[in-house]
Amino acid sequence: MSGCEGGSCSTCSTCGSDDPDRLPPGMLAAYNLNQSTADGILVWVETVQGPDGPEVAAVSAELLGAARKLSDGRVFAVVFGGLEVKPLYPQLFGYGVDTLYHVRGKGMETYRPEPYADCMASLVRRIEPATILMGATSRGRELAPRLAAVLGTGLTADCTGLTADRRRMVMTRPAFGGNLTADIECSKFPQMATVRQGTFPRPPVEEGVGTAIYWQYEPDCESGILSDEKVAESSEDIRDARILISLGDGIRDRSLIDVAESVASKVGGMVSCSRSLVERGWMPRSRQVGMSGRNVAPELYIAFGISGAVQHRTGMSGAKRVIAVNSDPDAPIHGFADLSLIADAGDVLREMDRALSKKG
Amino acid sequence: MRYVVAVKQVPDTMEMSVDENGSLVRAGVPSVLNPYDEYALVKIRGIMDDGDELVVFTMGPPQAEAALRRCLQLGADRAYLLTDPAFAGADVWATARVLTAFIGKFEPGASLYIFGRQAIDGDTGQVPYEVAGLMGVRQFAYVDSLESDDDGILAVQDYGDMVRRVRVPEGSVVSFGSVDPNGVFPSIQDRLDAESKEIVRLDRVALGLGLYSVGLKGSLTRIVSTRTVTSARRNRKVEIRDPAKGAGFIIDELEALR
Amino acid sequence: MFYRQRIRSDSKYLTDESKMTGKGEHVIIPVDESELREAMRINNSKGNPVTVSAMRTGVCGGCVPLEGDVISLERMSGVIGIGRDDRGYFVRVLPCTTIEEINRVLRTGDFSSLTDVTEGAGAALAAEPVPYFYPVDPTEMNGSIGGNIACNASGPRTYRYGPTRDWVRRLMVVMPDGQFVDFKRGDYRAEGRRMSFPAGRSFYSFEIPSYDFNTDVKNAAGPMFHSDMDLIDMFVGSEGIFGIIAEADVYIAPWHPLVSSILYFPTDGDCLAAVREFRGDDLIDPEFLEYMDGRSLDLVRGVMASDPAMIRVPRIPDDAGSALFFDMAVTGDMRARFERVGEIASRHGSSLSESWCADDDQGRARMRELRHSIPRSVFEYVASLKGEMPGIHKMGTDMSVPDDAADEMMDYYRSELDSAGLEYVVFGHIGNNHPHVEIILKSMEDFEKAQEVYDRFARRAVDLGGSPSAEHGIGKIKTRYMELMYGREGVEQIRRIKAILDPKDILCRGNITGGSR
């Protein structure tokens, strides 16, 4: 096209002007020019070690169920591991996976963010998904940003909701600066998000068929790993608890944690906490509710001595019923509880323990 | 050895209050050095030998100089402030672009690039890994401790369900997983020593970045709307003097659940 | 009409921070000065004793009733006005306003809702380039200004700013019969030793006691008397026995940036030796000097893990054997001043590296938290031993002496306590030669020994020209030291004034003089 100074005319589309303002009105929409053909959702299936071999992590199952509902297109899944992963196929297809990529290769069985991200990037280039989802787990939170950087795309972390408008995803996450939630869009494909466990219901396993593809990948660097030691984490997860006895800054005496544990065991609940107790070293991080901890959705959440900072409220917002016990009548937690008791948290906790002991 | 630490200035969330609408009141809240970054700085200080160099940098408004000043008091040798009005509104990607551009242009070839786990003002802790991805170097998350021996540096990573001991190659990104709630104080000597240390200011042009690579314009995610979360809870407030009575209330609720 | 309610035996109105408990019939809670006057008029006509109470943060039982009613001023609270005179800005406050609240209002910088006591004062103060604050820091920031005035409270900043007395501009005092006198400093002065003033329809005139109040040291032992004295000074420190403070004007001071430091020393002796040099040094010019001995540091180390207030305080260095905490105003020559600190430190086994330093508000607050945790730690230590030793208790001193007697007093504390075989910690306002010695009593026997030792300390403090009650006041617990300081005759003279101002002896019985007999 001699004489055409790309982008300056609006008579033809040969030089590929990408400025929609210079195209005739409606043309872009009519011809769907400059649109990515990306479609479908890719979910990273994280596995956890169970007693009889690997299991699908709860959050990954939830995401597969959600992906099936959110996408008109295909649902892709990628799982890493050796032969021991094979028994999981029926379950994954049962969640609605159309195509499962099973990555195998020397050095790819153990989780490492760099080769995992590089491998997923090669997959993404092949299948061109519109969306990539991962659980906001400790691994997901470091793998997702690495992959986003490699792909050069946007990432919304720690989502608590996803809705789809055809291929376009709207990601919802709590926004700092108030009890606001922000709806966020990614301006490029693939769109990426990490999603909190408990955001979607765990789907039922149905009859399903799909294609499994072995994907060979060899990492290009030494792992340097000297040892991986499993930590015996208590099998109970505060995200599964029906009743949570949650302790906060107002708990001034360490022995109250034992009292709370005793109460929890009597009522069939678990003890959780706010950030300050983790920072004091009184409770493990796995018990922390809130933005930097876990999102919980119990039937009953009893907050003892928790002031109710926004970060904490985000984590407890899924609770069906909330009781707040705090001696400060102005503590914000009272505004977010069904029942507020203005009383000393420690005293009430001790009394509960005593009363429940009597009942036997 | 040269260590480069990325830090952030954050509002002191411990000092924050909530207004009648439940929104955080940020006005008048003092700014502090993000405690996770302070922890990383102190940790790395602990493994340094004589002659090693510690460099800190931050992206932020001009006031973020105070956070760097504190880093200098806590043992950093030099500091950079990446500040430009165009940096405002950056998402993880745009932030990582600026940090990576800085590292490539001004502090390449360091022994380690160090980050804190997350910022306490609601940041989700993604930046270190995007930087590592952009730089194409190894990344080590949730690091609990670092030690150096004859063969180099060893890290212990705590993934929650797994503890990994791993060798850390030169030039990697390391993110510490914890925080010391007690914090530290510089000594009077540290304060005097820091007076003569330098803070270099760099803007977008100095980093060689285009207007559309940084800040809001360079971000790949966009907030399209925000909603107020309305609490649907029917609040009943009971002021109770007698803890036994309060315990009774709660036990009644528990019974109702059964 | 005013609120009046029977007092239950477990009522908070029967005790204060001294944990002394008293007896009372009713609590009266007036909402303003007219209700207060009415309550006084009625009680006076019946001859019914009343004890005044506000935030109940005192440690000498001043607000604890022995009989009759309690008047709680809790609803008479708030900063109501701003004014300015030749000396500077002042705030007009109701008696139960806490020191914290005064400073909070001043920090907001918005005085539009307050009355201008002098024209344009609020706007002028808001336009000042620096914020203002009430400079007397009685450590307990939740105490009421009325209570602070009534016992002439002081604290660490007294080193620079003096006690409460120096900051009182005006008082409105309700007399026992319900009449009142509203006056400024300078309105009524004694002629020689005769004081005269009107209050409503009454006119009072009497001889003031013949002793001179010791102002050379920090002193909160009763009201101040001297020739040609101001009437203000008789009410400041009178602990409610002459009248009830219903409103006050107190001066405020411009705030300036401060830097806080804690310097660690290997031993108690090193620290005290350094204090001597600090005190005489015009270049360093500290705002206050607070001492923490090795035993205090050990106690704090012990509670650190469990005390939530200490959550943001770093661990104390393991080799620190004592510590000196001080603030300095930020000036242009900080380097020279710090270097002088370093010179002194190096002469006494320390150095500038063995210190903590903070310019920011949060850091400075954390250092204060460390200092304030000592009395709490003592309390917790005592509580922790309660299981094995049910009779365990503690006793704290509050004595100040002149500069030249500081070492002698310190040696005396140590030798007496050591020879009595008692456990103790020493900390506090060393700049004013006013450390607190907390004696830990493990048995009844210890208690008797400590009583004796304590009385000897009080006597020695008075002999050395000091005060047995430097900042806490006398209340009902320390009345025996009044005689020690002023003799039987001095106390009798105070009683004579009381008989003139409060003929039915209804007001705050038991405070200062221990009653009418």
pLDDT given at position C26: 94
Residue B79 covered by a domain: yes
Residue B243 covered by a domain: no
Domain range for B152 is 2-218
Chain A positions touching B139 (Cβ under 8 A) are: 113-114, 142, 146
- What is the b/e burial string over A89-112, where b = at least 16 CB atoms within 10 angstroms of the residue's CB? bebbbbbbbbbbbbbbbeebeebb
DSSP-assigned letter for residue C87:
S
Instruction: Provide the chain A residues 182-211 that lie in CB contact (below 8 A) with chain B.
Output: 182-188
**Residue C87 Cα distances to B213, C92, C171, C188, C482, angstroms:** 59, 15, 17, 19, 34
**CATH classification for the domain delimited by C3-72, as one of 3.40.50.300, 3.30.43.10, 3.40.470.10, 3.40.50.1700:** 3.30.43.10
The 10s digit of each residue's pLDDT in C369-394 is 888 888 888 877 877 777 777 777 78
Q: How far apart are CA A171 and CA A186, in angstroms?
A: 9
Q: How far apart are CA A198 and CA A66, in angstroms?
A: 11
- What is the b/e burial string over C152-162, where b = at least 16 CB atoms within 10 angstroms of the residue's CB? bbbbbbbbebe
Give me B20's structure tokens.
């009648």
Residue B38 covered by a domain: yes
Q: How far apart are CA C37 and CA C181, in angstroms?
A: 12
Q: Parse chain A into domains and list their residue ranges.
A: 41-216, 238-359
CB contact, 8 Å: A28 with chain B? no
pLDDT given at position A26: 63
Nearest residue in A to B232, CA atom: A336
Helix (H) / strand (E) containing A277: helix A275-279
Give me C485's structure tokens.
């300081």
CATH number of C258-358: 3.30.70.2190
User: Helix (H, G, I), strand (E, B), or coil: what is residue C347?
Assistant: helix
Q: C306, A279: Cβ pair inside 8 Å?
A: no
Q: How far apart are CA C109 and CA C101, in angstroms?
A: 13
- What is the b/e burial string over C479-503, where b = at least 16 CB atoms within 10 angstroms of the residue's CB? bebbebbbeeebbebbbebbeebbe
* Domain A238-359 belongs in CATH node 3.40.50.2300: no
Q: How far apart are CA C373 and CA C309, in angstroms?
A: 8
pLDDT given at position A3: 42
User: Is residue C348 scored above 80 in pLDDT?
Assistant: yes
Instruction: Provide the chain C residues 290-329 that lie in CB contact (below 8 A) with chain A.
Output: 305-306, 308, 311
What total number of domains does chain B contain?
1
Residue B248 covered by a domain: no
Q: At C241, which amino acid appears?
A: I
- Residue found under tokens 């992963």: A85
Give A87-109 as a 3 state SS string. HHHHHHHHCCCCEEEEEECCCCC
Nearest residue in C to A250, CA atom: C308
The 10s digit of each residue's pLDDT in C213-244 is 888 888 888 889 999 999 999 999 999 999 99
Helix (H) / strand (E) containing C46: helix C33-46
Give me A210's structure tokens.
């799909």
**Region class of C76: left (phi > 0), else alpha (psi between -120 and 50), else beta:** beta
The 10s digit of each residue's pLDDT in C145-195 is 999 999 999 888 888 899 999 999 999 999 999 999 999 999 999 999 999
The 10s digit of each residue's pLDDT in B193-203 is 999 999 999 99
Nearest residue in C to A252, CA atom: C308
ipTM above 0.85, yes or no: yes
Is the CB of residue A73 less than 8 Å from the CB of residue A167?
A: yes
Helix (H) / strand (E) containing C38: helix C33-46
Give me the CATH number covering residue B120.
Answer: 3.40.50.620
Nearest residue in B to C309, CA atom: B182
Q: Cβ neighbours of residue B59 under 8 Å, at least 6 residues apart?
A: B8, B82, B83, B87, B90, B95, B98, B99, B102
Residue B99 covered by a domain: yes
Q: Cβ neighbours of residue C228 under 8 Å, at least 6 residues apart?
A: C189, C190, C191, C192
How many Cα neighbours within 13 Å face the side chain of B214? 23
At residue A91, what are phi and psi to the nearest 5 degrees? -60, -45
Q: A183, B250: Cβ pair inside 8 Å?
A: no
pLDDT given at position C311: 63
| Partner residue facing C338 (CB), from B14, B15, B192 | B192
Q: Cβ neighbours of residue B23 under 8 Å, at least 6 residues apart?
A: A177, A178, A179, A180
CATH number of C79-254: 3.30.465.10
* Domain A41-216 belongs in CATH node 3.40.50.880: no
Fold match between domain A41-216 and domain A238-359: yes
Is the CB of residue A154 less than 8 Å from the CB of residue A186?
A: yes
Max CA separation in chain A (angstroms):
94
The 10s digit of each residue's pLDDT in A103-157 is 988 888 889 999 999 999 999 999 999 999 999 888 999 999 999 999 999 999 8
Range with lowest mean pLDDT among A186-200, C112-126, C302-316, C498-512: C302-316
Of B83 and A234, more confident: B83
- Nearest-Cα distance to chain C for B205, in Å, is 33
Contacting chains of C (3 CB pairs or more, <8 Å) are: A, B
User: Is residue C280 scored above 60 in pLDDT?
Assistant: yes
CB contact, 8 Å: C353 with chain A? no
pLDDT given at position A311: 73
